[in-house]
């Protein structure tokens, strides 16, 4: 029995999680889904955006599937809290062009590896009279750990280079530690080409020559911004999966938010969630099934007959999920 924590969240998080679960249930796996609460609706009901019970359920699961949440002003972020509590220190965000999808570049296939536990997302902020102060915490331990994982991913994916993204010309101490840690780890991987760019230069290169990138490793805030921007290169957030990986836990989620403006219409694109399911299957060492789910998504997109409105179609969320399931069955 594979115990999976299921956190639907708010808005379209519920819709895409239902789609992802439907795909998982179509596979020959013995899965026990344990539902847990988080998000704005959870706060309205329980007075907290993420109960301790939800954290406990995630800790005791083999992996966690997370939908999307609506932020609650003044309250802690459920997804950041989970990442920190589970020590899922690496956020993996693949950026890939799909045949059949109208996008800026049709030949992209790179990975952004984002440090997930510190930086400006550490939550260390305070108010002092008329000013607000945020502490940007960058440690050598976390920087070396995320850099090493980036090199390991490059080897796993048969990539030639790893690019370190920072701003050490301005953030001399914090990004100085990040950059130095990267090059210290790089010594153990002489077969991999190493590059480093300032984050602003990287933003420009993503628009002008994104084909140059194989694996990008960067800090928390920079990784968040660059990965969302990169999703725009290949068709939008509806196609952008992610996995939060640690030494003991895995947390998988689509990159998009809860989209309250379209919630309830059942027109949200479930492909990002289903691709996140594929990443989760790989994490669970179900490589064959992970590959089938990914290939099925690619086939549905390439055929272009069953697509949600964001991709120019008129299909409902579960229509796409069911089409993916049909493609999986054809691959048997």
CATH number at residue 142: 3.40.718.10
Q: Of 232, 265, 283, which one is at a domain's C-terminal end?
A: 232
Write down which residue in 232, 258, 276 finishes a domain: 232
Answer for the pair 4, 62: CB distance below 8 angstroms, yes or no. Answer: yes
71 plus 132 within the same structural domain: no
Q: Quick check: helix, strand or coil at residue 253? A: strand
Q: Is residue 96 part of a domain?
A: no
d(CA 166, CA 183): 12
| Sign of the four-CA dihedral 73, 79, 82, 83 | negative
User: Is 99 part of a structural domain of the chain?
Assistant: no
> What pLDDT, on the 0 to 100 scale, is given for residue 280?
98
Does the residue 49 lie in any domain? yes
Amino acid 74: pLDDT: 86
Give CA separation, 139 vs 52, 106, 119, 131, 144, in Å.
27, 37, 9, 26, 9
Task: Considering the candidates 200, 209, 247, 303, report the single residue annotated as catalytic.
Answer: 200
Catalytic member of 196, 224, 310, 319: 224
The residue from 159, 167, 294, 316 that is catalytic is 167
Q: Is 107 among the catalytic positions?
A: no
What are the phi and psi torsion angles at 293 (to 5°)? -65, -45
Question: Cα–Cα distance between 257 and 123 in angstroms, integer?
Answer: 20
- For residue 271, is it within any domain? yes
What pLDDT, on a 0 to 100 scale, did the predictor assign at position 28? 86
In tens, the pLDDT along 139-197 reads 999 999 999 999 999 999 999 999 999 999 999 999 999 999 999 999 999 999 999 99
Look up 228 and say whether it is catalytic. yes
Per-residue model confidence (pLDDT) at position 242: 97
294 as an active site residue: the answer is no
Catalytic residue among 180, 189, 193, 228: 228
Pairing of strands 31-35, 131-134: unpaired
Q: Residues 140, 205: one domain? A: yes
- Spacing of C-alpha 274 from chain mean position: 12
Say yes or no: 217 and 256 in one domain: no
Torsion of Cα atoms, 34 then 38 then 43 then 48, to 10°: 90
Which one, of 11, 281, 293, 240, lies nearest residue 112 by Cα? 240
Which residue segment(s) compose the domain that 76 sits in?
A: 1-89+240-332
224 tagged catalytic: yes
The residue from 185, 213, 232 where one domain ends is 232
Which region, left, alpha or beta, applies to residue 143 given φ > 0 means left and ψ of -120 to 50 means alpha? alpha
The whole-angstrom distance between residue 123's C-alpha and the CA centroid of its chain comes to 20
Q: What is the pLDDT of residue 124?
A: 84
Instruction: Please check whether residues 308 and 222 belong to one and the same domain.
Output: no
Question: Which secondary structure element, helix H or strand E, spans residue 275, and what is its range?
Answer: helix 271-283
Q: Which residues of the chain have pLDDT under 50?
A: none
Does 248 map to a domain?
yes
Domain count, the chain: 2
Q: Are residues 227 and 257 in the same domain?
A: no
- Alpha helices by DSSP H, listed for 78-198, are 78-86, 140-156, 174-186
Q: Classify burial at 209, counting beta carbons within 10 Å of its beta carbon; exposed 0-12, middle 13-18, buried 19 or more.
A: exposed
Active-site pick, 89, 121, 197, 283 = 121
Q: Tell me the three state secondary structure of residue 295.
A: helix
pLDDT of residue 123: 79
Give the model's pLDDT for residue 233.
96
């Amino acid at each position: 029995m594979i115990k999976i924590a299921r956190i639907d969240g708010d808005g379209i998080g519920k819709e895409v999680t239902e789609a992802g679960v439907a795909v998982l249930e179509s596979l020959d796996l013995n899965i026990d889904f344990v539902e847990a609460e988080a998000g704005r609706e959870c706060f309205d009901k329980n007075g907290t955006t993420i109960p301790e019970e939800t954290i406990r359920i995630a800790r005791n699961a083999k992996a966690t599937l997370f939908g999307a949440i609506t932020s609650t002003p003044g309250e802690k972020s459920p997804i950041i809290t989970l990442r920190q509590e589970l020590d899922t220190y690496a956020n993996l965000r693949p950026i890939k062009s799909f045949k059949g999808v109208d996008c800026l570049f049709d030949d992209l296939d790179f990975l952004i590896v984002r440090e997930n536990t510190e930086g400006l997302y550490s939550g260390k902020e305070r108010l002092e009279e008329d000013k607000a102060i945020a502490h940007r915490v960058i440690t050598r331990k976390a920087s070396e750990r995320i850099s090493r994982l980036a090199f390991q991913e490059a080897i796993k994916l048969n990539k030639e280079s790893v690019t370190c993204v920072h701003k050490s010309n301005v953030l001399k101490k914090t990004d100085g530690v990040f950059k130095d840690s990267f090059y210290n780890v790089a010594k153990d991987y002489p077969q991999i080409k190493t590059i480093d760019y300032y984050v602003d230069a990287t933003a420009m290169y993503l628009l002008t020559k994104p084909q140059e990138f194989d694996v990008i490793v960067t800090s928390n805030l920079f990784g968040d911004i660059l990965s969302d921007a990169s999703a725009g290169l290949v068709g939008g957030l509806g196609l952008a999966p992610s996995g939060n990986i640690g030494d003991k836990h895995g947390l998988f989620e689509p990159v998009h938010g809860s989209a309250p403006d379209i919630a309830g219409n059942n027109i949200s694109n479930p492909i990002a969630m289903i691709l996140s399911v594929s990443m989760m299957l790989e994490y669970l060492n179900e490589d064959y099934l992970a590959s089938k789910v990914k290939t099925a998504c690619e086939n549905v997109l390439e055929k272009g007959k069953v697509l949600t409105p964001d991709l120019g179609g008129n299909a409902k969320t579960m229509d796409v999920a069911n089409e993916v399931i049909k493609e999986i069955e054809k691959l048997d």
